[in-house]
Structure formats: structure tokens, C-alpha cells
């Protein structure tokens, strides 16, 4: 291969690698940012959490070659779950702590996890390369570290109840408890990392095996949305052609906007029935019954079509 073409190929592969990394970072940051923003009022970790997930995902790309896209999504989701649990922990026991303490407490277990993975990097790499990590790591072992962490949480509640809410006590208990959790995470990092990688592989296999179901699933979505839109139009048309009210919205009889008609049609078809919009005329109730019946038929026939498509593909492969 000429030197110019070789350089071009190297640059193309490098650009492809960085594009994949950028997609992973954007998806991971958006996932954690959603929860971080929702919980920001309680713990004030919106920017800290996004910076943490970007750093952690980048570090694991460097350590273990990035894994699959599913590994990165699962990894980001695990950090999101941790943020939710941490928010519950802080809201319940340490809501009066200064923000720097909360930020440091949040980052300590993440740093311990990364440190443990770095400490056992060669061992983890060897298991991944040998492709024996599924058998080598007993899957249930990856969750045994939850027991001491749960015990630490229980002790935190007990100590909190018995020693009061003085600022000094809160700071001391918080630092000790998060340090203890970080120690457990450090020693569990190897098994948990392998579990994440293993789960990412399984997710990838699942989506690859079921990619053929995208077309029938999309067709089901089209029919489903069509029924929602058609009946929303019917509800709104009846409202416009009539001088009487057919719906009660939040306890008041009034006409629906088209957006409210769409919302009501969606809620009716999904049989959720929140109760914020209620039909009050027999004509509308009859139409609602028809829509519910069609929605039930669509659901059963749609599921049958999707599964039948999968079985047909399996039979063709068997032939």
C-alpha cells in the first residue's frame, strides 16, 4: 500500500474511533445529565455528575479499549443508579451538609472504583482477552459487595438517629460512611468491571439477534399512532360541531384543545385512565369503547405479527 494511502487509512480509523467515543460521551452525559438536573435541587451535583461520567467513560475507554457501545451505556446507567441512591442517602440523612462535602462524598466511590480497576488492570485484561470471564467470574459474586454497602447504610441510619443532627456529627459520619463504601467498591471493582463488560456483550447479542424485529415493530408503531391521531381528530371534530360539553377537564366541563384530544386519545388507547380528562356524554363514551376495542385488537395482532415474523425467520434459518 502506498504511504499516502496508508496515512489516509490511519487517519480515517482514528477519526472513526474519536467519533464513536464522542457519541458514547454525549449519550452517557445526556443520560446522567437528565437525572443530575432532576436531583440538582437536592444535592447540587448536576455539573459534577456530568464531569464525573465523562471522565469515567473516557478512563475506561483508555483502560479497556472502550468495550462495546452497550457497555458504555450500561456503565453510564450504573453511575446514574448510584446518583439516585446517593441523592436518597443525602436527602434522608445529610441534606444540611455543605456542597463541597456532598461533591467529595459522591466522587469518592467513583474514584475508588476506577482505582481498583487500574490496580487490577492486567488481570482484567487477561480475562477479557481469554474470553473466559463469563465462566471465571461467578455472576452472583459481582453483587456480593452490595451486602456490606447495605450494612453501612443501615448503620448510618442508626447512628444518625442516636447522635442527632449537629453539623460536626453530620460531617464526621458522612466522611466515614462514604470512605467505608469507597473501600468496599475498591475491592469489588474487578468483579463489577467484568460483570459490566459481560452484560454489554449480552446486550449486544440480544439486539443483534432481534434486529429483524425492527420492521414489524415499526409497522405496529405506525398503526398505533394512526389510531391515536384519527380518534383525537374525531373527538375534536365532535367538540367543534356541538354546543354542549363532552368532556370534563380537571373537574370543569369544557372543550378540549387538539393537544388535549391527542393526549386523551393516547391515554384511552393505552388504558391508563389518569382521570384528569373525563368523558361526560354517551356519544363520546361509545366512541371511546370503539377505540379501546380497536386498541386491544391491535395489541394482540401486533404482538402475534412480531412474534410470527421472528418464528418465520428462525424457520428459514433452520432450513
Facing residues of 248 across strands?
A: 253, 278
pTM over 0.75: no
Cα 5 to Cα 10, 18, 129: the distances in Å are 9, 20, 31
143: helix, strand or coil:
helix
- 59-100: pLDDT as tens digits: 877 777 655 556 777 777 788 888 888 888 888 888 788 888
Calpha distance 1→84 (Å, rounded)? 53
pLDDT tens per residue, range 118-154: 998 888 777 666 655 555 445 566 567 778 888 888 8
Give the contacts of 182 (CB within 8 A, at least 6 positions apart). 108, 109, 111, 112
Mean pLDDT rounded to a whole number for the chain: 77
* pLDDT value of residue 280: 92
User: Structural domains in the chain?
Assistant: 3-209 (no CATH), 214-318 (1.10.287.70)
> Treating both helix axes as pointing N-terminal to C-terminal, what angle do 121-130 and 99-119 enclose, rounded to 10 degrees?
60
Tens-place pLDDT, residues 236-247: 999 888 888 999
Contact 71, 205 (CB under 8 A): no
Amino acid at each position: 500500500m502506498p504511504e499516502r494511502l496508508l496515512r489516509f487509512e490511519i487517519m480515517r480509523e482514528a477519526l472513526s474511533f474519536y467519533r464513536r467515543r464522542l457519541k458514547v460521551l454525549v449519550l452517557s452525559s445526556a443520560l446522567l445529565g437528565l437525572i443530575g438536573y432532576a436531583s440538582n435541587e437536592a444535592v447540587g451535583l448536576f455539573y459534577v455528575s456530568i464531569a464525573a461520567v465523562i471522565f469515567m467513560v473516557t478512563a475506561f475507554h483508555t483502560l479497556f479499549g472502550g468495550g462495546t457501545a452497550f457497555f458504555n451505556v450500561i456503565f453510564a446507567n450504573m453511575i446514574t443508579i448510584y446518583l439516585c441512591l446517593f441523592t436518597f442517602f443525602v436527602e434522608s440523612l445529610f441534606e444540611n451538609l455543605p456542597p463541597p462535602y456532598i461533591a467529595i462524598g459522591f466522587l469518592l466511590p467513583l474514584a475508588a472504583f476506577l482505582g481498583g480497576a487500574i490496580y487490577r488492570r492486567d488481570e482484567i485484561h487477561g480475562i477479557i482477552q481469554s474470553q473466559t470471564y463469563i465462566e471465571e467470574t461467578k455472576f452472583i459474586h459481582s453483587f456480593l459487595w452490595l451486602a456490606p454497602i447495605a450494612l453501612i447504610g443501615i448503620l448510618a441510619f442508626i447512628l444518625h438517629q442516636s447522635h442527632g443532627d449537629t453539623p460536626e456529627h453530620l460531617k464526621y459520619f458522612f466522611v466515614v460512611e462514604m470512605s467505608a463504601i469507597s473501600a468496599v467498591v475498591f475491592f469489588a471493582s474487578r468483579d463489577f468491571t467484568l460483570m459490566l463488560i459481560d452484560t454489554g456483550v449480552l446486550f449486544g447479542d440480544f439486539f443483534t439477534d432481534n434486529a429483524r424485529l425492527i420492521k414489524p415493530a415499526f409497522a405496529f408503531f405506525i398503526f398505533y399512532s394512526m389510531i391515536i391521531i384519527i380518534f383525537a381528530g374525531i373527538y375534536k371534530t365532535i367538540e367543534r360541531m356541538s354546543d354542549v360539553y363532552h368532556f370534563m377537564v380537571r373537574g370543569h366541563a369544557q372543550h378540549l384543545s387538539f393537544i388535549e384530544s391527542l393526549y386523551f386519545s393516547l391515554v384511552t388507547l393505552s388504558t391508563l385512565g389518569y382521570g384528569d380528562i373525563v368523558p361526560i356524554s354517551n356519544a363520546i363514551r361509545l366512541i371511546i369503547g370503539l377505540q379501546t376495542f380497536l386498541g386491544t385488537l391491535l395489541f394482540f395482532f401486533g404482538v402475534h405479527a412480531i412474534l410470527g415474523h421472528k418464528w418465520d425467520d428462525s424457520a428459514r434459518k433452520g432450513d
